[in-house]
Amino acid sequence: MPLTEQEKSELKARARQLRQDIVDVTVWSGGAHIGGALSSADLMVALYFKYARVRPQEPEWPDRDRIILSKGHSGVGLAAVLALKGYFPRDLLRQFNHFKSPFGMHLDGNKVKGVDASTGSLGHGLPISVGLALGARFQKQTWRVYCLLGDGECNEGAIWESAMSAAHFKLDRVTAIVDRNRLMIDGATEQVMALEPFAEKWRAFGWHVIEIDGHDFDAIGRAIEKAHATAGQPTVIVANTIKGRGVDFMENQVKWHYGSMDSALADKAKQSIARMS
């Protein structure tokens, strides 16, 4: 079912809030991987507030869908969306990166409620997702696995090893979403290590591929529903996004992969987010 206008405007409001929260945590933590957290914010909101079956009051609910942040450096975005969803109070995030805090840049699944895998070393999330989906199948369970990947992350061999296995095992309950923001740390993906023809690579590996605008909730919704309707094959959603999306001075700026902000800059960032349609 397509999203209603009402749902769409709610998701947009959530996404705006999430982006504001990401800015706050970046200030509190002294620095964070903000660019990639902002590019994937709409995707995260769509999963947590619409499509994934999760229970913030029961984070270990056995039948929950699993959400694996393979691009674990977006921990700032994941922590903020989990707080927004009610897994824990937002104020806990003031401790982000601080001594003995449960929250570091890359989230620890044993310390932070709602985090299904401790990621941060790139290329680990998709293999774990394959294992989760196989485990669910063995136990005749119907929950799904969503795995958010960075595009730069797709340089890693382990991504393609697991891509091959997900198709081989016909894991139609795995939905990978690639945050295709076209930037990594040292520059543009196509300059550092070219990924194109990217969608064709996934197709050649046996995946059902959907390319969308990763900031358009209609498109995100349609893609996820198509993934749900696909049998016998895993789906990858190549979500074209803008790194730093929502903060005008960060958009498409490679240097905002990781950064810190003082309160004045944070104010500017928030004003920019408030202007988003």
Q: Which listed option, other proteins, ligand TPP, none, makes contact with residue 102 (CB within 5 to 8 Å by class)?
A: other proteins
Q: Which listed option, ligand TPP, other proteins, none, makes contact with residue 97 (CB within 5 to 8 Å by class)?
A: other proteins
Residue closer to ligand TPP, measured from CB, 77 or 234: 77
**Distance from the Cα of residue 145 to its chain's centroid:** 12
Residue 185 binding ligand TPP, by CB under 6 A: yes
Interface with other proteins by CB under 8 A: which residues? Answer: 29-30, 72, 75, 97-108, 118-123, 152-153, 155-157, 184-186, 192-193
Handedness of CA 96, 98, 103, 106 (dihedral sign): positive
Residue 124 neighbours by CB under 8 Å, 6+ apart: 70, 72, 117, 158
Strands (DSSP E) found in the chain:
66-69, 145-150, 174-180, 208-213, 235-240
Residue closer to ligand TPP, measured from CB, 105 or 136: 105
Residue 21 binding ligand TPP, by CB under 6 A: no
C-beta of residue 167 within 8 angstroms of C-beta of residue 207:
yes
Give the integer Cα–Cα distance in Å for 49 and 82. Answer: 10
C-beta of residue 261 within 8 angstroms of C-beta of residue 269:
yes
The residue from 27, 36, 136, 236 that contacts ligand TPP (CB under 6 A) is 36
Residue 73 binding ligand TPP, by CB under 6 A: yes
Q: Which listed option, ligand TPP, other proteins, none, makes contact with residue 101 (CB within 5 to 8 Å by class)?
A: other proteins
Q: Which listed option, other proteins, ligand TPP, none, makes contact with residue 181 (CB within 5 to 8 Å by class)?
A: ligand TPP
The residue from 128, 183, 223, 237 that contacts ligand TPP (CB under 6 A) is 183
Locus of tokens 């104010």: 267
Q: Which listed option, ligand TPP, other proteins, none, makes contact with residue 183 (CB within 5 to 8 Å by class)?
A: ligand TPP
Residue 194 binding ligand TPP, by CB under 6 A: no
Q: Which listed option, ligand TPP, other proteins, none, makes contact with residue 30 (CB within 5 to 8 Å by class)?
A: other proteins
Sheet of 208-213, strands arranged across: 66-69, 145-150, 174-180, 235-240, 208-213
Q: Which listed option, other proteins, ligand TPP, none, makes contact with residue 179 (CB within 5 to 8 Å by class)?
A: ligand TPP
State whether residue 140 is helix, strand or coil.
coil
For residue 205, what are the CA distances in angstroms to 44, 65, 164, 201, 235? Answer: 25, 24, 6, 6, 11
Q: How far is the CB of 7 from ligand TPP (least distance, A)?
A: 26
Residue 75 binding ligand TPP, by CB under 6 A: no
Residue 38 neighbours by CB under 8 Å, 6+ apart: 19, 22, 77, 243, 244, 245, 246, 247, 250
Residue closer to ligand TPP, measured from CB, 33 or 208: 33
Measured from the Cβ of residue 7, the count of other Cβ atoms closer than 10 Å reads: 15
Residue closer to other proteins, measured from CB, 51 or 202: 202
Q: How far is the CB of 138 from ligand TPP (least distance, A)?
A: 29
